[in-house]
Amino acid sequence: MTVTSAIRQSSTIASTATTESVVKKLQGWRPRFFMLMTLFIAASSITVGVLGWRLTLNAAKKNISGLVEQIENLISDRVSAYMLDESVRLTDFVDMQKELFRTNQLSASTPERKNKTMRQMLILLNHHLDISVDIFYVTVPEGEVNGYTYTVNGTLQLWDQKGLTLSTYNCDGNGYALGAPVSVTTDEGNKTPQMPGNNHTLDYGIGGMSGTNLNYSDPNSTGMSKIRPWGGRIFKTSVGIAINEVTNEKVIVGADLSMGFLAKQLSDISNTIPTPLFVGVIGAVSGRMLASSPAINLLSADKTRMLDAWELDSIHVLDFSSYLNETYGTQMGYLAKVQNLAADLNAMQEDGGSRFSYRNVGGVDWILKVKSIIYGGKALLLLTYMDLQAFQKQVQETSDRTGYAMLGIILAFVTAGCLFAIVITRQLDVVARQIDMLKNLKFSEVLDKESGVKKRSFVFELAKLQEAFHEMVTVFAKTLKTNQSARPCL
């Protein structure tokens, strides 16, 4: 045998011996109790936590479109409810004025009664500023308007008309004119409802420019105007005829609801939604935007004309025009398509139907909901755009935060479980050490109160085991001592 062969044989024998030694150690190895407990708690926490988290995330991702549509339904329902409620409240406000005139509590039959009536009307207006920005009455058939209004900047103004000349004054808080009028307009028109000038009786009558179409032969006639601009704001007017039972005066009483109220409501709703949102209300008759959030300029530079859709600085309104083209083609004009859409939606259900459409606006995916609303007898279209990608991103961010929280909870459970397992293991070690000492007949150490009583486990079963072992050792020690005492006698 050569030296090389001998070395190889020695290496093989050594390797075999090492392998056998490792195998024997592995076969004799037993895991510690706290290790088993830690692994069990960790496996259970991770499985349940991660599985639940991932299932929830996957379910949310699959239903994102449905969630967005449900949110848009809630938004449109809230806006619809607000508009219908405001319409009813405005009508009730006008009905209150009608009743006051009818029962002679308000009257303009004499200068003294007129002044008193104006003060009372101002009190009514101040109590209903959440409904209307003005209050007025119009004499029939003269068509002279008298009343109060608050301007955009909150200034109280008085309307005082004589003949076809309307004078507007700034007022103090009590409704008294301050100095000369801030504006005086005289407009004779051509004495027809289509060109009434300052004859408001013609304007509010059948065929008038306002669209209220009051029937003066009907003492209970009421009406809602078209939505139109005036004084830098967009209004909808509610009017009604009242006949004084004492003086036989016939007047038109009315109040205006500013679309600024609606714009504020849309803004309040949008602020509650964390994802980008566009909400707008379009008149189905005019095709013009009445209010929106985010707010966009809806009036011409001189504030006398509402802008058409193609004049608005809004990518969402532009996309809505594209939606109409895709739905109804390009042969019809914009207004005809808006009216067709409103008719189609109204045909879906009595209180107005709705449609959803997936849109790409500015390279971003949005979901559009179009809903028809009947407001004051006129059809309106409510547009709701919600950013789908932003909603998806928010779901993912929420999921990430949930994942981190879940990880923290898992680590807390595992740490607590590990500490518990270590405590139990140490208490079992107390019994194991006592058994080792008992093998060496160290009864005094086993029965020592410090190790036998004070270190007793707080776990009921372990405490009973330690107590039973302690009693067994005590009995065994006494028996052994008795046997040793009896041997000399033998």
- 3-state SS, residue 423: helix
* Architecture of the domain spanning 64-73+262-389: 2-Layer Sandwich (3.30)
Q: Report which of residues 297 and 11 the model is more confident about.
A: 297
- By C-alpha distance, which of 262, 279, 285 is closest to 317? 279
Q: pLDDT of 76-87, one tens digit each?
A: 888 888 888 888
* Lowest-confidence pick of 109-118, 187-196, 242-251, 466-475: 466-475
Q: Is the pLDDT at 38 greater than 90, yes or no?
A: no
Alpha-carbon distance of 348 to 343, in angstroms, equals 9
Topology (CATH level 3) of domain 88-258: Beta-Lactamase (3.30.450)
Per-residue model confidence (pLDDT) at position 137:
96
What pTM does this model have?
Answer: 0.67
Residue 51: Cβ within 10 Å count: 10
Q: Is the pLDDT at 139 greater than 90, yes or no?
A: yes
Fold identical between 64-73+262-389 and 88-258? yes
Q: Mean pLDDT over residues 221-243, rounded?
A: 90
Provide the pLDDT confidence category of residue 52 given band limits of 50, 70 and 90. Answer: low
- The residues with which 369 forms a beta bridge, in sequence order, are 356, 384
Q: At a CB cut-off of 8 Å and minimum separation 6, what does 247 contact? A: 104, 107, 109
Q: What is the dihedral of CA 461, 464, 468, 469, to 10 degrees?
A: 60
Pairing of strands 156-162, 145-150: antiparallel
- 3-state SS, residue 335: helix
Q: pLDDT of 404-449, one tens digit each?
A: 777 777 777 777 777 777 777 777 777 777 777 766 666 666 666 5
Q: Report which of residues 311 and 419 the model is more confident about.
A: 311
Per-residue model confidence (pLDDT) at position 108:
93
- By C-alpha distance, which of 241, 242, 254 is closest to 105? 242
Per-residue model confidence (pLDDT) at position 103:
95
Domain residue spans of the chain: 28-59+395-482, 64-73+262-389, 88-258
Q: Is the pLDDT at 115 greater than 90, yes or no?
A: yes
Alpha-carbon distance of 412 to 406, in angstroms, equals 10
**Helices 259-271/64-102 angle, 10° precision:** 150
Per-residue model confidence (pLDDT) at position 120:
95
What is the token pair recorded at 186? Answer: 């005289």
Query: Long-range contact list for 457-462, CB < 8 A, 24+ apart?
Result: 457/424, 457/427, 457/430, 459/424, 459/427, 462/424, 462/427, 462/428
Q: Is the pLDDT at 394 greater than 60, yes or no?
A: yes
Q: At a CB cut-off of 8 Å and minimum separation 6, what does 399 contact? A: 53, 56, 57, 60
Alpha-carbon distance of 62 to 56, in angstroms, equals 10
Contact 323, 341 (CB under 8 A): no
Q: pLDDT of 54-104, one tens digit each?
A: 656 565 555 666 777 788 888 888 888 888 888 889 999 999 999 999 999
